[in-house]
Amino acid sequence: MPIDFEFTDEQRMFREMIVDFAQNEIEPLVEEAEATQTFPKQLFPMLGEIGLLGISFPEEYGGVAQDKIMDCIFSEEMGRVNAGIAMCINAHTSLSMFPIYKFGSEEQKQKYLVPGIEGKIIGSLGITEPNAGSDARSIRTQAEKKGDRYVLNGTKTWITNGTMCDYAVVAAYTDKTKKGHGISIFIVDKGTPGFSVSGKMHKLGHRSADTSELIFEGCEVPEDSLLVGEGGFAGAMETLLGARITHAAKSVGIAQAAFEYALQYSKEREAFGRPISKFQAISFKLADMAVKIETARLMVYKAAWLYSNGKRCLKEASMAKLYSAEIVQSVATEALQVLGGYGYSVEYNAERYYRDARLASITEGTSEIQRIVISRELGI
Ligand SMILES: Cc1cc2nc3c(=O)[nH]c(=O)nc-3n(C[C@H](O)[C@H](O)[C@H](O)COP(=O)(O)OP(=O)(O)OC[C@H]3O[C@@H](n4cnc5c(N)ncnc54)[C@H](O)[C@@H]3O)c2cc1C
């Protein structure tokens, strides 16, 4: 079978539709969202209406049953328009709804997945805690069984969609004696007594993203809030592999935006009597940026293709995540350099891309963790 590196007509049309939506509906909201550090919540029902929150979910739940390639096209274009907005969308779809789709009971799917795909409710995923990030098994949140209820105590930090979510998918120990194997996952509704949210966390970049702490103090949830029982945590974490590929696509989108911005500027800005793009020092920079983006994009869509075809792709997903995270930072740094002093001004987008890019090697598994995964896959 020949290797085909071209997007299909359907994929191209899908991208065009998203670019259109991003330009007309999202771009006008970006400045205010960044300035006020507030996600424009009205986007969720709008995205739901046109099926963009259900790309990888089956039609029976209101999804459009497409593959990871389509999901990556969407994520790439969202990253290109605004990283913070892209992150909140990914947190809702890939991090909070996907585990419910994968492990939820029919009732849970009807309660959370169906309205979630419609954009009527928003979800978050709470794993990270003040003392446990990469080492998720070190979380301290506990869910103690009391009759037909569980009582949650603990704090989650850095939670995307934290303040605006309607429910949180939360990891907690139900048996502390079984390291790792004693972790279960719950769905906790906002408004449940004992579940509160800290104020917004202020960040270097991704300022339009909603980030906060989730606090559980004697928070009682019914038994049927359990999503994944003991022994299932590691397997549930493995399903976040798809989110890693989507995250990489988002990084490619941010890099593409930074590159386009610098390219345009380099053609307009003149120094020593000609556009700066005519200086080899600048044109080579742009050429190198384009090569890095192209390489990362190939890695992302290869991983997405493997994933969509049900092939093992742990190594490829981590490679795509790692590489995209590294190149988005170098591309954004170089883009800022192309703008010279203006690159340092908040009046120009280059500084936003530079700040946003920095997160890529931290979330969804740091670059160090990706290297551990890749090394393991190499048999080391
Ligand atoms: C803006 C933002 C949004 C986020 N959204 C969410 C969310 O929605 N839900 C959620 O649960 N979490 C979220 N997180 C948390 C994120 O997943 C963690 O920050 C990440 O997993 C790293 O954990 P940590 O920050 O505790 O760093 P640590 O795990 O403490 O790591 C610190 C450093 O040590 C390195 N390190 C750790 N272990 C090893 C090792 N074994 N070998 C080599 N190096 C190692 C790391 O790579 C890193 O460089 C978010 C974080 C941010 C900043």
Contact 51, 64 (CB under 8 A): yes
Domain 9-122, classified CATH 3.30.70.141, yes or no: no
Q: Please list the residue range(s) of the chain that carry CATH number 2.40.110.10.
A: 124-230
Every domain of the chain with CATH number 1.10.540.10 lies at 9-122
pLDDT of 1 > 70? The answer is no
Residue range 22-42, pLDDT digits in tens: 999 999 999 999 999 999 999
- CB count within 10 Å of CB 303 equals 30
Which part of the chain has CATH 1.20.140.10? 240-377
Q: Coil, strand, or helix at residue 183?
A: strand
Please tell me the predicted confidence (pLDDT) of residue 83.
98
- How does pLDDT run across 166-187, given as a tens digit for each residue? 999 999 999 999 988 999 999 9
Residue 34 among the catalytic residues? no
Which one of 97, 363, 374 would you pick to mutate in the ligand 1 pocket, going by the greatest count of ligand atoms within 8 A of its CB? Answer: 363
Q: Please list, in sequence order, all residues whose beta carbon lies within 8 angstroms of the beta carbon of residue 307, skipping any fewer than 6 positions away.
A: 68, 241, 242, 245, 313, 317
Q: What is the pLDDT of residues 219-239, one digit of tens each?
A: 999 999 999 999 999 989 888
CA-nearest residue, atom 37 of ligand 1:
134
Output the CA 65–ligand 1 centroid distance in Å. 31
Identify the CATH number of the domain defined by range 240-377. Answer: 1.20.140.10
Q: What are the Cα distances from residue 207, in Å, to 38, 105, 201, 380?
A: 7, 35, 10, 38
Give the confidence band of 50 by pLDDT, cuts at 50, 70, 90: very high
Confidence band, pLDDT 50/70/90 cuts, at residue 4? confident
> 2 pLDDT exceeds 90?
no
Q: Is the CB of 91 under 6 A from ligand 1?
A: yes
CA 145/CA 150 separation, integer angstroms: 4
Architecture of domain 124-230: Beta Barrel (2.40)
* pLDDT above 90 (res 300): yes
- Please list the alpha-helical segments (H only) found in 83-198: 83-90, 98-103, 106-108, 114-118
DSSP assignments along 36-74, one per residue: HT---TTHHHHHHHTTTT-TTS-GGGT-----HHHHHHH
- Read off the tokens for 129: 């805690």
CB 253 near ligand 1, within 6 Å: no
